[in-house]
Amino acid sequence: MTPRDTSAPPVELAAARETAALPALAVRHLTVAYHESPVLWDVSWTTPAAGLIAIVGPNGAGKSTLIRASLGLVPKVSGQALFFGQPLSAVRARVGYLPQRSSVDWDFPASALDVVCMGRYRLHGWIGPLGRRHREAARAALAEVGMADYADRQIGQLSGGQQQRVFLARALAQDADLYLMDEPFAGVDAATERTIIEVLRILARAGKAVVAVHHDLATAPDYFDHVLILNGRLVGAGPMDSVFTPENLQRAYGGRLALLDQAIEAAARAAAGRRDAQA
């Protein structure tokens, strides 16, 4: 990290403010294929600069792929992803990542604190023991997700929800401006779900952007302000109230109606709630 120059002239401050208003993530004409069958087809999408943003869509719609291709973890056939108006390599320190919990081996000999400390590796550098400042930051992140008492527990001995919180703490420890989260609510208990959404709301209030793959249509309108609906192609994107509509969901999910009815009810409830809050 470069130390901030406190005597920066006002011109640069204005420039910095302008940067802050740039979309956190913008993908242009993104196409991704696994073994020649396309998973994402020509998706162009721009997120707001801040806020809670959901990616929804049926299984195989390319939700995780969109995140992973943006981060360069799977090769793109064509298209590009810009973070805060720049390629990822220029702004890596501002981008946090929470992978799917099932993507790693939880039997690995590491404690919860070890894993959260990994979020600080980029800030500290790859070589040499991690400084006290970074260990403290990792402990603070664990405390934020209510896991302070489990710092020294081996990760395999934690419940699924606790493991998810450890991953969330690791992302928080990255101290980023944009967080890409791959199914943060998958397979967690109710208490963990509440903790996670509280943490996400705190992030949003602090002016950060969170892009999360989300499966539960019933909670999506409550939890997020913006939404991208995917089905291989882009179905709809924008503010929750105007995009999370029966028509768009029908187009994305096809005939799975039981699921849709719940989602539409939830959307109506959430929209009513927002109107009440404004009134």
Partner 1 sequence: MTGLDLETFLRIDLPGGLSAMLACLACGVLGNFLVLRKQSLMGDALSHAVLPGLVAGFLVSGSRSTGPMMLGAIAAALLATVLIQAARRLARLESGAAMGVVFSILFALGLVMLEQSHARDVDLDVDCVLSGQLETILWLAASGWGSLADPAALAELPRQLVALAGMNLAVALFVAIFWRALKLTSFDPDFATALGFRAHRFELVLMLLIAAACVAAFEAVGSILVIAMLICPAATARLLTDRYGVQMALAAGISAATG
Q: Which residues bind partner 1 (CB under 8 A)?
A: 35, 68, 71-73, 89, 92, 95, 97, 99, 103-105, 108-111, 114-115, 118, 121-122, 126-127, 129-130, 154, 156-157, 170
Provide CB contacts within 8 A for 269, sequence distance 6+: 221, 222
Nearer to partner 1, 179 or 244 (CB): 179
For the bound state, the minimum distance from the C-beta of residue 33 to partner 1, rounded and expressed in Å, comes to: 13
For the bound state, the minimum distance from the C-beta of residue 100 to partner 1, rounded and expressed in Å, comes to: 9
Nearer to partner 1, 105 or 247 (CB): 105
Phi and psi for 58 in degrees, rounded to 5? Answer: -65, 170
For the bound state, the minimum distance from the C-beta of residue 130 to partner 1, rounded and expressed in Å, comes to: 7
CA atoms within a 13 Å half-sphere pointing along the CA-CB vector of 133: 3
Phi and psi for 3 in degrees, rounded to 5? Answer: -65, 140
For the bound state, the minimum distance from the C-beta of residue 157 to partner 1, rounded and expressed in Å, comes to: 8
3-state helix, strand, coil in the chain (%, to 5): 45, 20, 30
Nearer to partner 1, 127 or 279 (CB): 127
The answer to whether 207 and 16 have CB atoms below 8 angstroms apart is no
In the three-class reduction of DSSP (H, G, I as helix; E, B as strand; rest coil), residue 195 is classed as: helix
Nearer to partner 1, 177 or 263 (CB): 177
Nearer to partner 1, 92 or 251 (CB): 92
Nearer to partner 1, 5 or 105 (CB): 105
For the bound state, the minimum distance from the C-beta of residue 151 to partner 1, rounded and expressed in Å, comes to: 13
- Of 170, 50, 82, 77, residue with least CA distance to 121: 170
- Of 78, 74, 19, 82, residue with least CA distance to 47: 82
What is the distance between the alpha carbons of residues 148 and 53, in angstroms, rounded to a whole number? 28
For the bound state, the minimum distance from the C-beta of residue 148 to partner 1, rounded and expressed in Å, comes to: 19
The answer to whether 188 and 219 have CB atoms below 8 angstroms apart is no
- Of 17, 26, 22, residue with least CA distance to 237: 26
Query: Amino acid identity, residue 232?
Result: G
